Structure 1
Amino acid sequence: METKTILIKDITILNPDLGNVKEFQGSVLIENDKIAKIGNNINESVDKVIDGKGKILMPGLVNTHNHISMNLFRGLADDLELNTWLNDHIWPMESHLNSNYCYIGALLAAVEMIKSGTTTFNDMYFYMGSVAQAIDKAGIRGVLSYGMIDFGDEEKREHEFKENIDLIKDFNNSANGRITCRFGPHSPVTCSKELLERVREEANKYNVGIHIHMNETQKEIKDVVDSTGMRPFEYLNSLNFLSSDVLAAHCVWLSDNEIDILKQKDVQVSHNPCSNMKLASGIAPVSKLLNKGVNVSIGTDGVASNNNLDLFEEMKFASLLQKVNDLNPEVLPSNQVFNMATINGAKALSLDKDIGSIEVGKKADLILLDKKSINMTPDSKISSSNLVYSANGSDVLTTICNGQILMEDKKILCLNEDKVKSLANEAILEMKNL
């Protein structure tokens, strides 16, 4: 049964605030899917009251780059460079995927995200209709795109457009608005000029965004330069592809000119520190991008190259990686990283009018954390610092998305966690034996 009204009483609230983080004590009233009131003395008659003493309330985390069905591939191939990892391990296993396996992988990822405080994710993969069905059932918010690859093959290209357009027609703005869709050209290396140009036209036609991998490895840069005479963002800019509705994942190897293009075209960036470190792809110049005024958010990438979906862990690594790269402990402080995982992520997905901060009228996508957990004790004067450097996903007690409680006091309410784990174990065993 749906809970229509929820009152979260007397809690420490953390909220993005003009580049900083605002911390205050208060209560929050949720009516249906939205935040109705924020204040100190809310005495409404409600369906449910949550006692906030000893807890932190913050916006649900936003994971801006993922391949959630790859949760089935956790630990499948580790300690390998990207091309070996892809060609010898991941792509052969992906050839065995079907709609049921992708559905199960999506359920598995949904449980992990709910348990670790992520309420919104941005995904690019295959059998995305099945992923949409899983996300509808799980109750979280998803931005879905089909991973389009044509390698210059016209017949393959037409198939990719049919898949992505069908996804948009069938699922965009579905599940009470929790599911939106985008176009997902994989990268400038795997997509032809014809595909990229048409993606821009179709995205304009359907009024949806674009999700693409960019500048992840040095080899990718060389391949694009060799084939076009331009670096990847220069190439896409020459095609009039870039705009504020483009979310570019990784952006590890960037020239100064490309950074200027990102700023000029208001391109959104998803930083994936753990995946970039694990695959030894390099270190994205996040502090330089932020100083230029580029909007940078945080993603995990798929579990096959991470190997989890814990955005609290990702926040810490993002900050520490910039500090050691710049040899400056003052760069990318905790407030900035907190914003990257919340309001910046919402903006990157064109959802900042609805999510990413705790404001009256916004969707009730909220998480509650335990201030009393051993790794959060003693309580820091600056809670955002404690969250970024001390917390992890296991400190999340309660997860609310679109006004519905998906997990309460660490108990998943929307799915049968044991059943999902069992299905996932069975699925990967079947795939390994194919």
Structure 2
Amino acid sequence: MILVGNGRMITQDNLNPYMEDGCIVINENKIEDIGSTTDMKSKYPNHEYIDANKKVIMPGLINSHMHIYSSFARGMSVTGKPSENFSEILENLWWKLDKQLALEDTKYSAYSTYIECIKNGVTTVFDHHASPNAIEGSLFVINDVAKELGIRTCLCYEVSDRDGGLTIDQGIKENVDFIKYAQDDKSDMVKGMFGLHAAFTLSDDTLNKCATEMEGLDTGYHVHAAEGIADLHYNLQNHGKRVVERLMDFGVLKEKTIAVHCIHVNSAEINLLKDTNTFVVHNPESNMGNAVGCSPAIELLKKGITVGLGTDGYTSDMFESLKVANIIHKHHLCDPRVGFGEGQKMLFDNNTKIAKAYFKNDLGIIKKGAYADVIVVDYTPHTPLTENTLGGHIIFGMSGRSVDTTIINGKVLMKDRELVNIDESEILSKSREVSKKLWNRI
């Protein structure tokens, strides 16, 4: 067993939200017990003890929408005139990048991204992958890296019509093969979803194929929905329906499905999302960076929709995404009352609900019986930290770089900012080499 104690404990458990002197007892991959440091050390003597030294102990963070491969765009120059809208950003950057990805690029983008996640206290990642000229085996390569590093993940491949018929069939097969593999995996460290790019790159024939292949698979879709206005315009002009309405027609909206963004939706579509218990994931930094508009996340939450928080590949730091979720809606709605509570609900409550739909046990919470995904944050408050003030301390005082220790599934992956049994320097050196070759191909 491992004891992690002598820390200010934020549990994200409403029944026991905060302990000034908390200690967690980890037995294999679950939390065995919680109490004061003195009591736990007395009750469980002679076990490994990690002294948090008055730092903050809290649950590992969950990212409910990520693009691992996008990490290889960091620092890359894009030739030609600057993109004027989201459609041009896709064509000039992301679709040029993903077409050049080989399995080795996918592997090392997974290494570098998952390492950043671990260092930022993110212990579970829902990823949405694309590599149209290297589809077969791509999800298995990403999973091999996740397994090696010890991070929890849920993967899918984005099916799209934009690269032709062969890639459609390959994308569908990669999803189905990986979903079945993950369902047979007993570790509960990996899950699979059925990935779709977006309605404007999917024909009716392809959506029908996907629906047929989904029959009998106990999982959901992971799809971008109404992110840019062009998605809405395309579907209205070519199908006579709005984005969410069209996805509804093919059975995409349902329990376990993640509809990402949902920016350009109307009240009828919002009702469809609610009535089908579809998850929505908000990615505020990406939306601002792509200038696609502000998500109606506040309205969606008021309607009772489970809205989670992701990064869309923009960052691996969920604290950063939370900070922006707090302020973007204040700015957009000209209302200083919104964002603070809603952002925390998305990250700490709803990401946990999304993860619970896939993984067998509780994540994102510190309580007896939950999976031992725990982080220690190097943060010392200079004002009172209590169960009533902890939200302000998290938003305004913490960041991913403050994470000192990361434990996933009961295993210590990072301690004192040093990765355990992971040669970060060697991996990142190889990553720079691989990404440079990728840039040259582009």
Structure-1-length-normalised TM-score: 0.91
Aligned residue identity for 2:227 = E
Aligned mates of 2:31, 2:212 — CA distance in 1: 36
Aligned mates of 2:143, 2:125 — CA distance in 1: 12
Tell me by how many angstroms 1:165 deviates. Answer: 1.6
Aligned mates of 2:33, 2:249 — CA distance in 1: 47
Asked if 1:69 is matched to 2:75, the reply is: no
Q: Which residue of 2 aligns with 1:328?
A: 335
Identity between Structure 1 and Structure 2 (%): 29
Aligned mates of 1:231, 1:214 — CA distance in 2: 10
Check the 8 A contact 2:60/2:122 in 1, yes or no.
yes
Aligned residue identity for 1:99 = L
Check the 8 A contact 2:66/2:127 in 1, yes or no.
yes
Q: Which residue of 2 aligns with 1:36?
A: 32
Structure-2-length-normalised TM-score: 0.90
Check the 8 A contact 1:338/1:384 in 2, yes or no.
yes
Change (3 A) 1:175 1:139: farther
2:5 aligned to 3, 9, 15, which one? 9
1:85 aligned to 77, 85, 89, which one? 89
Aligned mates of 1:211, 1:90 — CA distance in 2: 18
Check the 8 A contact 2:76/2:439 in 1, yes or no.
no
Asked if 1:405 is matched to 2:412, the reply is: yes
Check the 8 A contact 1:8/1:50 in 2, yes or no.
yes
Check the 8 A contact 2:125/2:153 in 1, yes or no.
yes
Q: Secondary structure at the match of 2:11?
A: strand
Aligned mates of 1:256, 1:338 — CA distance in 2: 24
Q: Kindly provide the CA deviation profile for residues 17-45 of structure 1, in whole angstroms up to 9, marking residues without a partner as x.
A: 45x99222322111000011112221203
Q: Which residue of 1 aligns with 2:347?
A: 341
Unmatched 5+ residue regions in structure 2? 132-137
Change (3 A) 1:27 1:224: same
Q: Which residue of 1 aligns with 2:119?
A: 115
Change (3 A) 1:411 1:217: same
Q: Secondary structure at the match of 2:201?
A: coil
2:370 aligned to 362, 365, 371, which one? 362
Q: Which residue of 2 aligns with 1:146?
A: 157
* Aligned positions of 1:199-218 closer than 5 A: 199-218=210-229
Q: Kindly provide the CA deviation profile for residues 78-119 of structure 1, in whole angstroms up to 9, marking residues without a partner as x.
A: 874322222123222322211111000000001100011100
1:225 aligned to 236, 241, 248, which one? 236
Q: Which residue of 1 aligns with 2:134?
A: none
Asked if 1:24 is matched to 2:19, the reply is: yes
Aligned residue identity for 1:327 = C
Aligned residue identity for 1:337 = G
Check the 8 A contact 2:330/2:338 in 1, yes or no.
yes
Tell me by how many angstroms 1:377 deviates. Answer: 4.1
Check the 8 A contact 2:23/2:35 in 1, yes or no.
yes
Q: Secondary structure at the match of 1:148?
A: coil
Q: Secondary structure at the match of 2:157?
A: strand
Q: Secondary structure at the match of 2:2?
A: strand
Q: Kindly provide the CA deviation profile for residues 337-392 of structure 1, in whole angstroms up to 9, marking residues without a partner as x.
A: 233223311322414742121121111111110123xxx54565512211112311
Tell me by how many angstroms 1:433 deviates. Answer: 2.1
Q: Kindly provide the CA deviation profile for residues 258-282 of structure 1, in whole angstroms up to 9, marking residues without a partner as x.
A: 1111111111011000000001011
Aligned residue identity for 1:291 = K
Aligned mates of 2:5, 2:283 — CA distance in 1: 35
Check the 8 A contact 2:12/2:365 in 1, yes or no.
yes
Q: Kindly provide the CA deviation profile for residues 295-352 of structure 1, in whole angstroms up to 9, marking residues without a partner as x.
A: 11111112xxx2x211101000011001111222121224x42332233113224147
Q: Secondary structure at the match of 1:331?
A: coil
Aligned mates of 2:163, 2:94 — CA distance in 1: 22
Q: Which residue of 2 aligns with 1:249?
A: 260
Equivalences, count? 421
Tell me how large the CA RMSD over aligned residues is.
2.1
* Aligned positions of 1:45-64 closer than 5 A: 45=45, 47-64=47-64
Check the 8 A contact 1:77/1:85 in 2, yes or no.
no
Greater CA drift, 42-51 or 308-317: 42-51
Aligned residue identity for 1:387 = I
Aligned residue identity for 1:221 = L
Aligned mates of 2:237, 2:176 — CA distance in 1: 31
Aligned residue identity for 1:60 = G
Q: Secondary structure at the match of 1:177?
A: coil
Q: Kindly provide the CA deviation profile for residues 158-207 of structure 1, in whole angstroms up to 9, marking residues without a partner as x.
A: 22222222222334454822111111011111122233234344334121
2:426 aligned to 398, 401, 419, which one? 419
Q: Secondary structure at the match of 2:128?
A: strand
Greater CA drift, 354-363 or 381-390: 381-390
Aligned mates of 2:52, 2:44 — CA distance in 1: 16
Aligned mates of 1:51, 1:152 — CA distance in 2: 53
Q: Secondary structure at the match of 1:186?
A: strand
Q: Kindly provide the CA deviation profile for residues 184-242 of structure 1, in whole angstroms up to 9, marking residues without a partner as x.
A: 01111112223323434433412122111111011111111111111111112223331
Tell me by how many angstroms 1:120 deviates. Answer: 0.5
Aligned mates of 1:370, 1:108 — CA distance in 2: 23
Unmatched 5+ residue regions in structure 1? none
1:161 aligned to 153, 172, 181, which one? 172
Check the 8 A contact 1:187/1:214 in 2, yes or no.
yes
Aligned residue identity for 1:111 = I
1:130 aligned to 130, 133, 141, which one? 141
Aligned residue identity for 1:257 = A
Greater CA drift, 118-127 or 341-350: 341-350
1:99 aligned to 84, 99, 103, which one? 103
